Structure 1
Amino acid sequence: MTSRPAVHLAVPVDDLAAARRFYGEILGLEQGRSTDHWIDWNLRGHQLVTHLVPAASAAAGTSDVDGHRVPIPHFGLLLASEEFHRLAERLRAAGVEFLIEPSLRFAGRPGEQWTMFFRDPAGNALEFKSFADESQIFTT
């Protein structure tokens, strides 16, 4: 059996039903195992676990990136362009409020990318992005 590196990420949520709706129905992630205080999600082969932590607070600060105040901490995925724009429309249709609207960052420069930021119902910041050229993900 060949294995590939995968990320395990645990995030606090204050309402598992809201997490189930957001991560399962809105983001479309497949649900794995769960109990009455956590839910596993398949984040493209990576394990995302939403843990019930009453009164959880994820906000720590922001960082300036290409003219935007990016929330710290945050997590997310790199998507193909078409998938990025479909997700943005699905989020809009679900009434999700963007912290940073879907926008083009670093236009015409190495690492050009579409990006968007929003929060889950517990306040965890998420970023989804799509690079114009995936070979430039780590280009300086």
Structure 2
Amino acid sequence: MALSPFHLAIPVYDLPAARHFYGEVFGCSEGRSSEQWVDFDFFGHQLVIHEHPRTAVQEHAHTNPVDGHDVPVPHFGVVLEWDEWEALADRLKVREIKFVIEPYVRFKGQVGEQATMFLLDPCGNALEFKAFKDISQLFAK
């Protein structure tokens, strides 16, 4: 089944820093833009960063416990192929990106086993990147 790309628009209070982060750190190609927003090809999906005053969530992230870690809420991201996830984790480590949750394998040996990592963009938006060796486990209970 082919997936349709999602569209997500997020607030950023420092448009130049966020533009650099998504464009340079992640290597996302830029689409349309204005002085207040920028479209990115975010792993085949449309991510739009919109200039906006700092939000309460960006200042004080809420967390929920998952597998012994404090997962920031809200967050967004993508499910990558395992090799692509490993390459991204290595690239982010080389760039000395600070992780909220370091790359690791969650639910090891259990239903839903997955590689995951969490980080913040320069404006405090939380991102998660994950991968499954067996993609059929994506929605497994």
Q: Structure 2 length as normaliser, TM-score?
A: 0.91
1:86-101 correspondence to structure 2 within 5 Å: 86-101=87-102
Matched residue, 1:114: 115
- C-alpha deviations, 1:46-92, integer Å up to 9, x for none? 21110001334434411111111100000001011111111111111
- Aligned-residue sequence identity (percent) comes to 52
Matched residue, 1:26: 25
1:111/1:132 contact within 8 Å kept:
no
Paired AA for residue 78 in structure 1: V
Structure 1 residue 54 and structure 2 residue 53: aligned? yes
Paired AA for residue 77 in structure 1: V
Query: What is the rounded CA distance, in whole Å, between the counterparts of 1:128 and 1:135 in structure 2?
Result: 17
Query: What is the rounded CA distance, in whole Å, between the counterparts of 2:84 and 2:52 in structure 1?
Result: 31
- Gaps of at least 5 residues in structure 2 are none
The root-mean-square deviation of aligned C-alpha atoms, in Å, is 1.5
- Gaps of at least 5 residues in structure 1 are none
1:4 shift after superposition: 5.9
Tell me how many residue pairs correspond in the alignment. 138
Query: What is the rounded CA distance, in whole Å, between the counterparts of 1:67 and 1:4 in structure 2?
Result: 31
SS for the counterpart of 2:57 is: coil
Matched residue, 1:42: 41
Matched residue, 1:124: 125
